[in-house]
Chains A and B, each alone.
Chain A
Amino acid sequence: MKLTTRNAEIFVAVILALCSIGLMIKAAQNSITWTIEDNMGAGFMPFWLSLGMLICTIITIFKWVIRKSPQSNNNEPFIDPEANKYVYVTILSLIGLILGTAYVGIYISLIFFLFFYLKNFSEKSNLFISVFSIATPIVTFCFFEWLLKITLPQGISEPLFYPIYELMY
């Protein structure tokens, strides 16, 4: 089965319908009723709103079945095959960046992320890419830690920054 827009439409609609059901189940862990004595239960709003989401997705699925919406008649590939690479690589490298931020620390991960990304997608020289990849985390550090006093996650690379803090304060 090819990932055409038509297929993506039904695929996404079914996933959203399942999510809506999941939300309803989760919301129903709290009271979903509304009585005058007890006021509105904590689950009331999320439950009935999720039911609304479910109804919306069912209509979308129905429109797909009777081919009433533009997406249900569109057999073009969902993601432009020539642009596939950009989308997937970007998403994966972002996942890598956030994983790295959580465990290795943001400043170190940024160096690798920028180096990888620029190496792949730009035609700049290696020297430019290296300088840029190292300069950006430094600027980020100065801006957040020094000016705004917001500490960004440093993970296991934290001890590397102790001498810098020693100099800063």
Chain B
Amino acid sequence: MNLLKKVAILFVSFSFVAVSTTSAKEFAPKKPIELIIMAGQGGGADEIARLVQGVAEKNDFTSKPLIPINKPGGSGGEALQYVKAKSGDQHTILITLNSFFTTPQNQKELDINILEDYTPLARLLTDTFMVWIKKDGAKTSGINTLDEFLARAKQGDLVMGGTGKMSEDELLLGMMRSMFGFDAKYVPYSGGGAVAKGLIGDESDFTLNNPSEQMGFYQSGDSKALVMMTPKRNPAFPEVPSSHELGYPDLEYYMMRAFVAPADIGAEATKYYTGVLHDVYMNAEFQKFNIDDGKLLSWIEGYGLSDFFAVEYDKHTEIVAAFN
């Protein structure tokens, strides 16, 4: 036991020295930083989280490594509760997507208030959605424009593949339903990749995938995009019209890729993580990857981000209410 005690004393004295030498003002992480991902491995959020990790690691943006941990349980509900419970923890950050707005509303029992339970850090990117059909789909062959598609969809027998009940794409289907007056059967899959494959494998007739999820099939000509739900065309998809130019300005929807931290981590830590994310954001490799992938670089931080969260939360409350 003597030995044990000695080791313990050594440890404690060691740590005192270390703690006291770091200056009180500048925040620097003392241990590896948990990067919680509120979605599964291989999804869009996971991809960005690992890209951020890779860029930060390669360029030494953080003094301690970022460790990605997937907590996809309950559409991100588990991750939200986990980070909420870590209030004051300066070594955890969370990458969020739009389920940040929808999950707390669909699962009231989680008791999450996104504006109070988290410290907003920064939004790096927004992703959009497109209407996809297969090139020679059984029910959609010969369709080349959104209007042709809508006319066909009004027959009401199309199947749409999506990423899960009450997820963004089903809400979006709900929006389109009330906008255009058509209905479709909704089949949930696990993940955007599986959704894209279901379309090409002729199981579904159309999907509302993110650009990157269909990129491979788009390049090989197996799938066609009819519209991009943005005001302007995207350089990665030059021939796909935007919803605004087709005359449907209400058909606009974005998927955000933003980072938050637990509540009450203090101004210094907030500044540190926002700075790290900004370094990643300004990295040439990071920017090129996302532009090629059809994403929009859209930095906001601090109060701007809180306002954005508030607006989006209210918007999703309306969409969810309209859907039900």
The answer to A–B direct touch (Cβ < 8 A) is yes
**Closest chain B residue, CB of each to CB of A111:** B4
Q: Contact: A158 with B4, CB < 8 Å?
A: no
In the bound assembly, the distance between CA atoms of A166 and B67 in angstroms comes to 16
Distance between Cα atoms of A76 and B103 in the complex (Å) = 54
CB-nearest residue of chain B to A158 = B31
Contact of A149 among B3, B4, B12, B65 (CB under 8 A): B65
Instruction: Please measure, in the bound complex, the distance between the C-alpha atom of A113 and the C-alpha atom of B14, giving whole angstroms.
Output: 25
Neighbouring B residues of A165 by C-beta, 8 Å: 30-32, 64
> CB < 8 Å: which of A145, A150, A158, A166 contacts B18?
A166
By a CB distance below 8 angstroms, the chain A residues around B34 are: 151
Give Cα A162 to B15, complex, Å. 6
Contacts of B14 in A (CB 8 A): 160, 163
B284 within 8 A of A: no
The reply on B24 being an interface residue by CB < 8 A is: no
Q: Which of B3, B30, B32 contacts A151 (CB 8 A)?
A: B32
Contact bitstring B23-61, A, C-beta under 8 A = 1, else 0: 000000011101000000000000000000000000000
Q: How far is the CA of A158 from the CA of B11 in the complex (A)?
A: 11
- Report A113 CB to chain B, min CB distance, Å: 13
Contact between B18 and A162 (Cβ–Cβ < 8 Å)?
Answer: yes
Decide if A169 touches B63 in the complex (CB within 8 Å): yes
Contact with B along A115-159 (1 / 0, CB 8 A): 000000000000000100010000000000100011100000011
Decide: A134 and B7 in contact? CB cutoff 8 A: yes
Which B-chain residue is minimally distant from A126 (CB atoms)?
B1
A145 to B65, CA, bound (A): 11
B contact residues, total (Cβ < 8 Å): 19
Cβ A130 vs Cβ B4 within 8 A? yes
Chain B 119-136 residues near chain A, CB threshold 8 A: none
- B19 contacts partner chain A, Cβ-Cβ < 8 Å: yes
Given contacts A163-B14, A165-B64, contact A130 B3 (CB under 8 A): yes
Interchain CB contact under 8 A, B12 and A163:
no
Closest to B1 in A: A130
Q: Which residues of B contact A169 (CB under 8 A)?
A: 63-65
Give the total of A residues in contact with B, Cβ under 8 Å: 16
For B11, the chain A residues whose CB sits under 8 A away are 160
Instruction: For B7, list chain A residues within 8 Å (CB).
Output: 134
Is the CB–CB distance between A163 and B32 below 8 Å? no
With A160-B15, A163-B15, A163-B18 given, is the CB distance from A134 to B31 under 8 Å? no
Is the CB–CB distance between B3 and A162 below 8 Å? no
Measured CB to CB, the nearest residue on chain B to A169 is B64
Q: Does A161 contact B (CB under 8 A)?
A: yes
Q: Which of A145, A150, A162 contacts B19 (CB 8 A)?
A: A162
Question: Do residues B4 and A161 form an inter-chain contact, with CB atoms below 8 A?
Answer: no
State in angstroms the CA–CA spacing of A145 and B63 once bound together.
Answer: 15
CB within 8 Å of A: which of B49-100?
Answer: 63-65, 67
Q: Which residues of A contact B267 (CB under 8 A)?
A: none
Would A163 and B17 be within 8 Å (CB), given that A150-B67, A169-B63 are in contact? yes
Residue of A with least CB distance to B60 = A169
Closest Cβ of chain A: how far from B304's Cβ, in Å? 32
Binding site for B on A (CB under 8 A): 111, 130, 134, 145, 149-151, 158-163, 165-166, 169
- 24 A-B pairs with C-beta separation under 8 A: A130-B1, A134-B3, A134-B4, A149-B65, A150-B67, A151-B67, A159-B15, A159-B19, A160-B11, A160-B14, A161-B31, A162-B15, A162-B18, A162-B19, A163-B17, A163-B18, A165-B30, A165-B31, A165-B32, A165-B64, A166-B18, A166-B30, A169-B64, A169-B65
Given A163-B14, A166-B18, 13 additional A-B pairs, CB 8 A: A111-B4, A149-B32, A150-B67, A151-B31, A151-B67, A160-B11, A160-B12, A161-B15, A163-B15, A163-B17, A165-B64, A166-B30, A169-B63
B residues with a Cβ closer than 8 A to A are 1, 3-4, 7, 11-12, 14-15, 17-19, 30-32, 34, 63-65, 67
Nearest 9 CB-CB pairs, A to B?
A163-B18, A162-B30, A163-B14, A160-B11, A165-B31, A159-B15, A162-B18, A169-B64, A163-B15
